[in-house]
Amino acid sequence: MADAKLAPNMPQWMIDHTNRYLSSGGTDGHMYTASFPNMPTLTVPSLLLTTTGRKSGRKYIFPLFYGKAGNSYFIVASKGGAPDHPGWYKNLLAYPEAEIMVGTQKLKVRARTASAAERGALWKQAVVFWPPYDDYQQKAADREIPIVVLDRA
């Protein structure tokens, strides 16, 4: 992660969160308290994902909410329900080897899109820690929001 940069075009709250997470070595920022208009306050687990840019080859850091599935982690490629997949997901499709920081722990992982058989159970778990995912899926309409499983490398 030392040679990675913050992903471009992140909203300020994500930049602030990522900087706090990194500067504390993961002791502050792992649990993120989200306070957004018209939503109850939620405290969710977050990790930092470092991907390799599919066009640039540069390493980029993204803060994401996550769940656990056995010994693996999973993240949701929602992009707030936008019609297109997030850039970090496209990066993982091109270069599935990545790094994550979960609290103070840094791990090398291999990313894969959850199978249809896995997706239902993982989606149910995801909307428990972040209920807006259901709204994002409705907004995304024809785009099924991928769930990415991060298996330890």
What pLDDT, on a 0 to 100 scale, did the predictor assign at position 153? 93
Count of structural domains within the chain: 1
What pLDDT, on a 0 to 100 scale, did the predictor assign at position 1? 63
What is the percent of the chain where pLDDT is above 70? 99
Q: Answer with the residue of higher pLDDT: 36 or 64.
A: 64
9 has pLDDT over 90: no
Query: What is the arithmetic mean of pLDDT over 87-98?
Result: 97
H or E element at residue 15? helix 12-23
What confidence category does residue 38 fall into, taking pLDDT thresholds of 50, 70 and 90? confident
Q: Calculate ∠ Cα 80-44-151, nearest 5°.
A: 80
Host domain of residue 9: 5-152
Residues with Cβ within 8 Å of 78's Cβ and at least 6 positions away in sequence, in order, are 86, 133, 136, 137, 140, 145
Query: What is the arithmetic mean of pLDDT over 12-29?
Result: 94
What pLDDT, on a 0 to 100 scale, did the predictor assign at position 122? 98
3 has pLDDT over 90: no
CATH number assigned to the domain comprising residue 77: 2.30.110.10
